[in-house]
Structure 1
């Protein structure tokens, strides 16, 4: 049984992770020469280096053993991370930040269904209500941008569907593995798989020093570090709770892209985002009240 203090700490870790994930779009829009596969390669490379460095600092000579100890759960989780890393950045180069994030908004519903089917986890009524309200908000957000989606944008949204599927499976794997198994090595594995897959497609590399600096920030602060935070938080949060809190990325991403890259969101995007935020706050306030 998770104590109230531990639950609140996990809550803060997940909020921090989702907030850091949300800066991807605005930073990607600052790139000059790097695009598509190359962006994914560099981001994965820097994420892998960061996670490897963190593991070496924490575990020293036992770091390699930690990777091996992750076993089949670590392998499955690593593949899911790789799918998310690849699909997310490729989608961002094909469609808007808002459209990419909106596709991701089905994650809580998919995660809740999988948690019910695979983990036999009872989903409390407040969480189902929060998921339903959040989905309604996403539909409202989505309605404002669909009319301007061209063929390339539609293809980008199709690529983005890999993200909620992989995210939901990954959350289930993290919960199935339990609190005793450290799956932070899976983040490293995901970065390695993603980098290896993307490198041949990224050649010849064209990123300028300016781009590499931005991609380093993306790899460390937007990918490696927050993914480690999520793994730590997942030990003390329910599967639907993890994916619901992850919607903060969907909410904040278009705002940063608006403020930092001039991608002005439609009125429906802002209104729908407010509904999503209300659903998240409602669910977590009730959860915290139950912990008291």
Structure 2
């Protein structure tokens, strides 16, 4: 699939919208809770990826998993953590809270890259980390003593896993072995399904729940993951990072309109700090890369 730049931008907007639908859908579940929510979504995502990914890479995608090295398996574990914690967090705290915490992923990645592979972090990114960190700290402080703090901690494992995953990928690249994220994503879906299978029992989901979670597995997880990889061939990393932030905005608006879950003051304040820091960091970085005509 060959895209022009404008087409890739529009496609990434669609990807962000599809990603953002998980929160509002979980608010309309009848009986499925916690690990069962993850199990059904990951199961349908695994089946979908088994059908979709061979279209792009042929049967070689299965051979890559069979012959996978340590790096691919570690990446798969990271994806599994992200897939699992994402849905569990939605059952424990507000959608806006989860999405704002997810948004700090690029900044945590910068810290991990600095610590583990010596990546030089620009001053603007350190400033963004401090500002975003203040926003997250404010959100956590406002939840001390409430049940939401558990959901926030679960949500925090997602950007941490994403940072570890990027570091593994970059280290593999530095060693001359580029890590193929396509089979890693599918492996992550398999591991998420397998790890939550037992934890999901006794299964309580109604047919209504299974249909909703199956729809999420296909159209909120499998399809947008593949489309994002297609867009990554055309768009730069800063462009993708900025467009991914639309998931936060779309997700909060969808759950507000579709489930009457208005964001709290702490989420709005923390979100403004986090999103503002990320936008400023990526925009300044983009300005430095664009040649002056």
In the other structure, the counterpart of 2:195 is 197
Match of 2:262 among 240, 261, 264: 264
Deviations 1:57-79 (A, max 9, x none): 22333232232354222101100
For residues 118 and 96 of structure 2, the distance between their equivalents in structure 1, rounded to whole angstroms, comes to: 33
For residues 268 and 95 of structure 1, the distance between their equivalents in structure 2, rounded to whole angstroms, comes to: 13
Q: Between 71-80 and 211-220, report the one with greater CA deviation.
A: 211-220
In the other structure, the counterpart of 1:177 is 172
In the other structure, the counterpart of 2:205 is 207
**SS of corresponding position for 1:202:** coil
Matched, 1:164 2:164: no
| Alignment check: 8 A CA contact 2:80 2:189 kept | yes
Q: CA deviation at 1:260?
A: 1.4
| Alignment check: 8 A CA contact 1:82 1:193 kept | yes
Q: CA deviation at 1:220?
A: 1.9
Where in structure 2 are the equivalents of 1:109-128 lying within 5 Å?
109-128=107-126
In the other structure, the counterpart of 2:290 is 291
Q: Note closer, same or farther for the CA distance 1:67–1:277 as it changes in structure 2 (3 Å cut).
A: same
**Where in structure 1 are there 5+ consecutive unaligned residues?**
none
Q: CA deviation at 1:13?
A: 6.9
For residues 7 and 65 of structure 2, the distance between their equivalents in structure 1, rounded to whole angstroms, comes to: 26
Greater helix proportion: 1
**SS of corresponding position for 1:32:** coil
Q: Note closer, same or farther for the CA distance 1:154–1:134 as it changes in structure 2 (3 Å cut).
A: closer
Matched, 1:146 2:146: no
In the other structure, the counterpart of 1:46 is 44
Matched, 1:218 2:216: yes
| Alignment check: 8 A CA contact 1:187 1:228 kept | no
TM-score, normalisation: structure 2: 0.80
For residues 101 and 180 of structure 2, the distance between their equivalents in structure 1, rounded to whole angstroms, comes to: 29
Where in structure 2 are the equivalents of 1:239-278 lying within 5 Å?
247-278=245-276
Q: Note closer, same or farther for the CA distance 1:44–1:266 as it changes in structure 2 (3 Å cut).
A: same
Matched, 1:80 2:75: no
**Where in structure 2 are there 5+ consecutive unaligned residues?**
none
For residues 103 and 118 of structure 2, the distance between their equivalents in structure 1, rounded to whole angstroms, comes to: 23
| Alignment check: 8 A CA contact 1:108 1:131 kept | no
For residues 120 and 73 of structure 1, the distance between their equivalents in structure 2, rounded to whole angstroms, comes to: 19
**SS of corresponding position for 1:33:** coil
